[in-house]
A and B are shown apart, each in its own frame.
Chain A
Amino acid sequence: DAGVTQSPTHLIKTRGQQVTLRCSPKSGHDTVSWYQQALGQGPQFIFQYYEEEERQRGNFPDRFSGHQFPNYSSELNVNALLLGDSALYLCASSLVRDLSGELFFGEGSRLTVL
């Protein structure tokens, strides 16, 4: 039973570029959430996708956008990269009808913006 998988694991971009990060949820899960974790800090919620729609959004600018596909996998896109976007981006999956709401996290994609 595969857990949450993310790609790429590491990447380096320069300011102004665009990046796409990918996530496959744990088998059987239908909801994907994205979190940004800056160095030395706790994760911060970016947004959540369910049924291919953005359901909830944290305090992030429109440069951050996402998508969920029919197979429940998801992408996070960040446009016009800033140095401050350097962080570990975590994907978490869950099952909407699981009342515990337990999230399973992937290992993350570490983005460095130069």
Chain B
Amino acid sequence: GQQLNQSPQSMFIQEGEDVSMNCTSSSIFNTWLWYKQDPGEGPVLLIALYKAGELTSNGRLTAQFGITRKDSFLNISASIPSDVGIYFCAGRNNAGNMLTFGGGTRLMVKP
């Protein structure tokens, strides 16, 4: 089945630093999404990408949909303590709304 490899698995950074994480797949996806999950809560959508090569920003977050449609990255600029959490990439193809999730990147920010 489809698998998403997300890296790094965890990051421990200083407040104010920039962060980059990425996701690669063995299969093509038509939509890439990035979610954040806080403890005890469900994932919340951060950014959605619908077109190969698309670069989209949402505040301090920037994400890109890879040209091959098999990868995506998420950047967070000038990290703050509330950025702490687990970030998941997810891919979707045209077969309905089913999402395939990566294993997550746990981000820890030191004030």
By a beta-carbon cutoff of 8 Å, the part of chain A in contact with chain B is 4, 31, 33, 35, 40-45, 48, 55-56, 58-59, 90, 92, 94, 100-108
Contact = CB atoms under 8 A, between A and B. Distances in A.
Nearest to B44: A105
29 contacts: A4-B42, A31-B97, A33-B97, A33-B98, A35-B99, A35-B101, A40-B104, A41-B103, A42-B4, A42-B88, A42-B101, A42-B104, A43-B88, A43-B101, A45-B98, A45-B99, A45-B100, A48-B97, A56-B95, A56-B98, A90-B42, A94-B97, A100-B48, A101-B92, A102-B45, A102-B48, A103-B45, A103-B99, A107-B41
A100 B95 CA distance: 14
Chain B interface extent, by class? 20 to 34
B111 interface: no
B104 to A, nearest CB: 5
A75 to B, nearest CB: 18
B43 interface: yes
Interface in B49-67: 50
Given A4-B42, A101-B31, A106-B42, A42 B96 contact: no
Interface of B: 1, 4, 6, 31, 40-45, 48, 50, 88, 90, 92, 95-104
Nearest to A9: B40
A40 B45 CA distance: 19
Nearest to B6: A42
B96 A56 contact: yes
A42 B95 CA distance: 20
A103 B97 contact: yes
A101 B42 contact: no
A52 B11 CA distance: 42
A32 B48 CA distance: 19
